[in-house]
Amino acid sequence: MQTLIKSENNASAIQPSLILIPDISGFTEYMNTSENMHCRYIIADLIELILDNDILGLSVSEIEGDAVLFYRYGKQPPLGKIIEQCEVMFIKFHSYLIQFENNKLCGCKCCSNAKNLSLKFVVHYGKVSPVIIKNHNKLFGSDIILSHKLLKNNIDKNEYILLTDTYLNAQSDGDKTKYDNDKALTGGSIKYEHIGTVQFYTYDLSFLKQKITYNHPMLPRLKEKNPITYSIYINAPPVFVKDIITDFKFKPNWITILNNISYDEKTIPQIGAKHRCIMNDIFLKPVVIDYESIYLSSDNKTYVEKLKSKFIGLDAVLYFEMINKGLGTLLKLELHLIHTDFYSRFIKILFKRKSSQRRIKYSLIKLKSLCESVYNKYL
């Protein structure tokens, strides 16, 4: 039988190494809230952010669902560098979540609960034994076991760096004293079966979230005095109507002039997301139109898409306004052509033909039927 594991059976196989594990707090509860694929896409994005923001030149031993095991052989980095590394990952992690929370168009549990996730770190220094298994570098040893166990601890926070006493004792006195004097490190201990009592210090990271800023996209100014307008009443709440309109996969079910739509199915609907449609009937021949979601108001009642087509010179903004009316929604649709050149005037003529208006009105009737049928199904 072919040997799958390659290692040296001597002391040279044991290496002193830094062990750093970023771990997503709240992962288990989050994944149990829904089986929606969006949970997996969001977690994958967050793990990629962690990997992309390694500033210490670390190596990766394992990538788990909610954590990454980084290591680096040799002399350990100073405490200041470790804290800087963890802070960079923490800020990038929460910048993503804040932007996603403000830009998301989807209202599923995965997308709505992503803001509850956070990040903690375990930092240890010890001896590891590298083993190559089928071209994968795997680390073994009691210090690896301890590092994993420290993810389950008695700390009543979920945003921190846990630094073992073993790691800190190898630091220069000046480096550790600086943080002790600032009262940034809090001591603690925990006892594990078969291991004993482990001393550690924690560094709180929660204050960093106050430094993260987000600029909400501005509502595009209306440039046209006489836009093409339509309206229809839908017997479903505005937020529900918004969810149907902004979900790309529903568009073929209600846009009658849509021949085909293409988009990355792994992309969660959010501001900045793009999709490409092939339209016919209104135009003289099938036309490719690029759509981009560019604005959603904080109350979820105004949604804006930008439409562009180089072939016909289309450059327009499509506004959906969802107004509370009784128990349902009055949906107002406005198409504003950005330019006033010959092509724009020609496109406006195409849209205002009676046959075109019939097809657009029929699309809105289909949207009404779709919203009401789906909404009533889940009442």
Residue 183 is predicted with a pLDDT of 62
Q: What is the three-class DSSP state of 243? A: helix
Q: What is the three-class DSSP state of 288? A: strand
**Rounded CA separation 336/332 (Å):** 13
> Strand ranges (DSSP E) for 311-376?
314-325, 328-337
What residues are paired with 331 via a beta bridge?
A: 232, 322
Average pLDDT, rounded, for the chain = 86
What is the amino acid identity at position 244?
I
Give this prediction's pTM. Answer: 0.84
Residue 231 is predicted with a pLDDT of 95
For tokens 């375990």, name the residue. 122
Q: What is the three-class DSSP state of 50? A: helix
Higher pLDDT, 194 or 123: 123
Question: CATH assignment of 228-377?
Answer: 3.30.530.20
β-strand pairing of 118-133 with 160-164: parallel
Question: CATH assignment of 5-211?
Answer: 3.30.70.1230
User: Could you state, in order of their start, the residue ranges of all structural domains in the chain?
Assistant: 5-211, 228-377
Q: pLDDT tens across 207-220, in order?
A: 999 999 888 888 87
Q: Predicted confidence band at 1 (pLDDT cuts at 50, 70, 90)?
A: very low
What is the amino acid identity at position 305?
E
Query: Which H or E run includes 290?
Result: strand 287-296
Q: What are phi and psi of 342, to 5 degrees?
A: -60, -45
Q: pLDDT tens across 136-193, in order?
A: 778 888 999 999 999 999 999 999 999 999 999 877 765 666 666 566 888 898 998 8
Q: pLDDT tens across 252-293, in order?
A: 999 888 888 888 877 888 898 888 888 775 555 677 888 899
Q: pLDDT tens across 297-346, in order?
A: 988 899 999 988 877 677 788 999 999 999 999 999 998 877 666 666 77
Q: What is the DSSP string of 295-327?
A: EE-TTS-EEEEEEEETTTTEEEEEEEEEEEETT
